[in-house]
Amino acid sequence: MYKIIFVLVFAIASSLGLYAQEFQGMAIYESKTSTSDFKTRMQGNKDMTPDMQKIIEERMKKMFEKTFILNFDKSASIYKEEEKLEAPGQGSGGMRMLASMTGGGGTFYKNVKDKSYTVDKDFMGKEFLVKDSLPNLKWKMESETRVIGGYNCFKATAVRHASKTDFRNLRPKKEETATVKPADAAKKTSFMDEMDMPKEVIITAWYTPEIPVNQGPENYWGLPGLILEVNDGKTVILCSKVVLNSKVKADIKAPTNGKVISQKEFDETVIKKIEEFREMNQGRGGNGGMHMRIGG
| CB neighbourhood size of 159 (10 A) | 11
User: What are φ and ψ of residue 154, in 5° steps?
Assistant: -115, 150
| Gap between the Cα atoms of 174 and 162, Å rounded | 17
Q: What was the pLDDT predicted at 77?
A: 98
pLDDT at 87: 53
Specify the pLDDT at position 18: 40
* Cα gap 179→31, rounded to integer Å: 33
CA quadruple 36, 39, 44, 50: dihedral sign: negative
What is the pLDDT tens value at each position of the chain, 296 positions in all? 444 443 333 334 434 444 445 789 999 999 998 765 555 555 556 666 777 666 666 666 667 789 999 999 999 999 999 876 655 444 444 445 555 554 456 899 999 999 999 999 988 888 999 999 999 999 999 999 999 999 999 999 999 887 777 767 666 666 544 454 555 544 544 444 555 777 888 999 999 999 999 999 999 999 999 999 999 888 999 999 999 998 889 999 999 999 999 999 998 998 888 788 777 766 655 544 444 444 44
Instruction: Give the length of the chain.
Output: 296
Domain ranges in the chain?
2-283
Answer whether 192's CB lies under 8 Å from 77's CB: no
Strand ranges inside the chain, DSSP E: 25-33, 65-72, 76-81, 107-111, 116-123, 126-133, 140-148, 151-161, 171-172, 195-196, 200-208, 226-231, 235-244, 259-261
